[in-house]
Amino acid sequence: VTGSGKTQVYIELTKMALSKGMGVIVLVPEIGLTPQLAARFIHVFGDVVGLYHSKFSVGERRWVWREAEAGRIKVVIGPRSSLFLPVNNLGLIIVDEEHDTSYKQSDTPPLYHARAVAIMRAKLERAVVLLGSATPSIESYHFALKGRYRLVVMPKKIRGYKKAVVEIVDLRKSQELTPLSTRILEEMERTVANGKQIILFVNLRGFAPHLQCLDCGYSPHCPHCSVSLTYHKREKKLKCHLCGYEVPAPSTCPKCGSPRIVPIGFGTEQVESEVRRIFPKLRVVRMDMDTTRRKRAHEEIYRQFKTGEADVLVGTQMVVKGFDFPNVGLVGVLLADVGLNFPDFRANERVFQLITQVIGRIRRGGKVIVQTFDPDSIAISKAVEGDFLGFYRSELLSRQKFEYPPFVRLGIFEIQGRSKENVMTFAYEAFQILESSASKFRVKLLGPAPAPIEKFKSKYRWRIMLKSEHPMEIQNLLKSVSFDPPSGINIKIDIDPVDML
Ligand SMILES: [Zn+2]
Ligand SMILES: [Zn+2]
């Protein structure tokens, strides 16, 4: 559910909790990205609502903490860290957009998933958790079907479902290498002539270049991992960043023999300058990591576009979250495949969710154009058809086949350091130590292999992947062994990883 129907359900449940004297925590992926939800809550509940912002100063955080502790704030809306606020007599935790990756803290310890912590805290305090999403995560949906969670489907009438016209531009046929196809340029002109606005969506997150055949759409994948191989330009090699498999980069397409197999990828900046070059009169704003570093920068770009001070919004997945722009006539997904080829077992799920959310952003009479080299891929075709069940069924089968969550538990044992040689050497040592006990604990090991982004903040990162069908065995294995890394080498352990890059 993308519209306001979902917010109304949240508000009714919050009313019920408050009337019983209970407190409520509403988790949102990023409060700057969900101004409407916060505004609705404040409008209905007034000053018992406290907003918590990830960019708050220490003083501002303390203030919210004290107000919640004193019981003056009864409803907290904020990102994953709000989960730890001392809300009195907690009765309800709402996790909005439960599939969102920002609920996992992956960078600094403690590494935790807010969805899991919410369920744990609710259990301890006898509260109820509501996971809300138009595109539930594969894991949550699986648990709902298995009866571990209860599934509530909102009827179409309530959620105000309106189907936008979705058109696929098959880039194999159009043979164009610019981000904006002739077809989308036509639609942009038509949209502007009608006085409507345009959103151009570029999925840039963790961009990994890959090879793609311009004639048949083929992109080389790892034979062992079901993920796309990353193209290493300098070495002219294709590498799997999960298991370490590598092959020389082919000069002709292994599938159809075409010589037109090339590295693929472009970013928001390039799209912005293309739009300015082709439509010099249009006012363009860009929303991505670079333009939103400052506090309130999201809100400012959002305001400019909402009030019509800009005609075109170019952005990454940030533009997809929680926004409602009534005057948008056209949304372009410029290269749906980019996400599809991330070396991540959730790549399909992410692409499906993104395209579904993008389509949900547009109102009746609007148009969505999805540009892709791979219109037949499950993620893209099912999102365009709006076939949730079909996608989940097929994705679950693939997860089962390749042994990924929810069928196994996953852990990543990461070795980090400034010296590549020391990192590699210790990675192989650690692998041997783990391997000596792995079978006893029914844990399967993969690797060691460089992380997809091997060098990060001037540190090299190598990984060993641990898989087990038994939920506690990875931790038990890790507890049973000890490591003695040389100086300058760090170990990072991430159970239930979300960021596979
Ligand atoms: Zn592999
Ligand atoms: Zn080909």
How much distance in Å is there from the Cα of 249 to the middle of ligand 2?
14
C-alpha of residue 261 to centroid of ligand 2, in Å: 7
The CATH number of the domain holding residue 327 is 3.40.50.300
Q: Is residue 160 over pLDDT 50?
A: no
Claim to verify: residue 445 and residue 324 sit in the same structural domain: no
Lowest-pLDDT range of 303-312, 319-328, 426-435: 319-328
Could you tell me which of 317, 307, 269, 314 has the C-alpha nearest to residue 33? 317
Do 366 and 422 sit in the same domain of this protein?
no
Average pLDDT over residues 140-146: 85
| Segment 39-48 mean pLDDT | 91
Higher per-residue confidence, 159 vs 35:
35
Distance (Å) from CA 447 to ligand 1 centroid: 9
Q: What's the domain range around 473?
A: 409-495
CA 136 to CA 254: how far, in whole Å? 36
CATH code: domain of residue 488: 3.30.70.600
In the chain, how many domains are there? 3
Decide if 452 is inside a domain: yes
**Among all ligands shown, which has an atom nearest to the Cα of 215?**
2
More reliable by pLDDT, 336 or 267: 336
pLDDT higher than threshold 70 for residue 275: yes
Q: What is the pLDDT of residue 154?
A: 72
pLDDT level of residue 265 (50, 70, 90 thresholds): low
Single out the residue of 21, 11, 185, 16 nearest to residue 89, CA to CA.
Answer: 21
pLDDT of 37 above 80:
yes
For residue 246, which ligand has an atom nearest its CA?
1
Query: Is residue 157 predicted with pLDDT exceeding 50?
Result: no
ipTM: 0.89
| pLDDT score of 177 | 64
Tokens, residue 327: 């005057």
* Number of residues that make up the chain: 501
Nearest to 158 by CA among 4, 306, 357, 12: 4
Calculate how far, in angstroms, residue 231's C-alpha sits from the geometric centre of ligand 1.
Answer: 14
On whether residue 232 sits in a domain, the answer given is: no
Same domain, 187 and 276: yes
Measured CA to CA, the distance from residue 464 to residue 354 in angstroms comes to 29
Any idea which of 7-21, 245-259, 286-300 has the lowest mean pLDDT? Answer: 286-300
Q: Are 381 and 490 within one domain? A: no
Cβ pair 249, 241 in contact under 8 A: no
Q: How many A from CA of 377 to the centre of ligand 2?
A: 15
Distance 140 CA to ligand 1 centre (A): 26
Expressed in percent and rounded to 5, the helix, strand and coil fractions of the chain are 35, 25, 40
Given 344, 378, 398, the domain boundary residue is 398
Tell me which ligand sits closest to the C-alpha of residue 220: 2
Q: How far is the CA of 285 from the centre of ligand 2 (A)?
A: 36
Q: What is the pLDDT of residues 474-495, one digit of tens each?
A: 999 999 999 999 999 999 999 8
DSSP 83: G
Query: In terms of pLDDT, which residue wins out, 94 or 293?
Result: 94
pLDDT value for 103: 87
Quick one: 394 and 414 in the same domain? no
237 in a structural domain: no
pLDDT at 297: 81
Ligand closest in space to the Cα of 463: 1
Average pLDDT over residues 70-87: 92
Cβ atoms 73, 49 nearer than 8 A: yes
Q: How much distance in Å is there from the Cα of 450 to the middle of ligand 1?
A: 11
Q: Does one domain contain both 132 and 109?
A: yes
How far apart are the CA of 424 and the centre of ligand 1, in A?
Answer: 18
Mean pLDDT of the chain: 85
Same domain, 289 and 378: yes
pLDDT at 347: 87
- 184: in domain: yes
Say what the pLDDT of residue 162 is: 54
In angstroms, what is the span from residue 402 Cα to ligand 1's centroid? 11
Q: Which ligand is nearest to the CA of 213?
A: 2
In a domain, 17, yes or no: yes
Tell how far the Cα of 219 is from the centroid of ligand 2, in angstroms: 8
Please state, for a pLDDT cut of 90, what percent of the chain lies above it.
42
303, pLDDT greater than 70: yes
What is the predicted pLDDT for the residue at 272?
87
Number of H helices, E strands in the chain: 16, 22
Task: Give Rg (Cα) of the chain.
Answer: 23
Residue 5 has pLDDT above 80, yes or no: no
Which string of DSSP letters, residue by residue, matches 134-150? Answer: SS--HHHHHHHHTTSS-
- pLDDT, greater one: 172 or 445: 445
Are 454 and 331 part of one and the same domain? Answer: no
In DSSP terms, which residues pair with 496 in a beta bridge?
Answer: none
Please check whether residue 451 lies inside any domain of the structure. Answer: yes
Tell me the mean pLDDT in the region 155-165.
55
The residue type of 247 is: V
- Please report whether residue 129 resides in a domain: yes
**What pLDDT is recorded for position 31?**
64
Q: State pLDDT tens for residues 352-411.
A: 988 888 887 776 678 999 998 889 999 999 999 888 889 999 999 999 998 999 899 999
- What pLDDT does residue 2 have? 45
How far apart are alpha carbons 219 and 322 in whole angstroms?
Answer: 32
Are 307 and 290 found together in one domain?
Answer: yes
SS3 152: coil
Which among 346, 363, 398 is the end of a domain? Answer: 398
Last residue of a domain, one of 349, 376, 398: 398
Ligand in nearest proximity to the CA of 262: 2
- pLDDT of 322: 59
The alpha carbon torsion through 375, 376, 378, 379 (nearest 10 deg) reads -10
* Cα 253 to averaged position of ligand 2 atoms, centre (Å): 5
pLDDT band at 266 (very low <50, low <70, confident <90, very high): low
Span 178-207, pLDDT tens digits: 788 999 999 999 999 999 999 998 865 434
Q: State in Å: Cα 354 to ligand 2 middle.
A: 27
pLDDT at 155 over 70: no
The helix or strand, by DSSP H or E, that contains position 264, with its residue range, turns out to be strand 261-264
Ligand nearest to the CA of 256: 2
Q: What is the pLDDT of residue 90?
A: 93
**Is 246 domain-assigned?**
no
Helix (H) or strand (E) holding 285: strand 284-287
- Interval between CA 336 and ligand 2 midpoint (Å): 18
Interstrand relation of 128-132 and 90-96 (parallel, antiparallel or unpaired): parallel
Place of tokens 């959103």: 199
Residue 159 pLDDT > 50? no
Q: Do residues 200 and 328 both lie within one domain?
A: yes
Q: Pick the ligand that lies closest to the CA of residue 219.
A: 2
Burial per residue of 290-307, b for 16 or more beta-carbon CB atoms within 10 angstroms, e otherwise: ebbeeeeebeebbeebbe
The first and second tokens of residue 356, run together, are 């579904």
* 137-155 average pLDDT score: 82
Average pLDDT over residues 81-100: 91
Both structure tokens of 499: 């960021």
Q: Which pLDDT does position 32 carry in this prediction? A: 64
- Could you tell me the distance, in angstroms and rounded to a whole number, from the CA of residue 259 to the centre of ligand 2? 8
The reply to whether 125 and 171 lie within a common domain is no
| Per-residue pLDDT, 364 | 67
Q: Are residue 342 and residue 427 in the same domain, yes or no?
A: no
Helices 420-438, 473-480: axis angle to 10 degrees equals 110
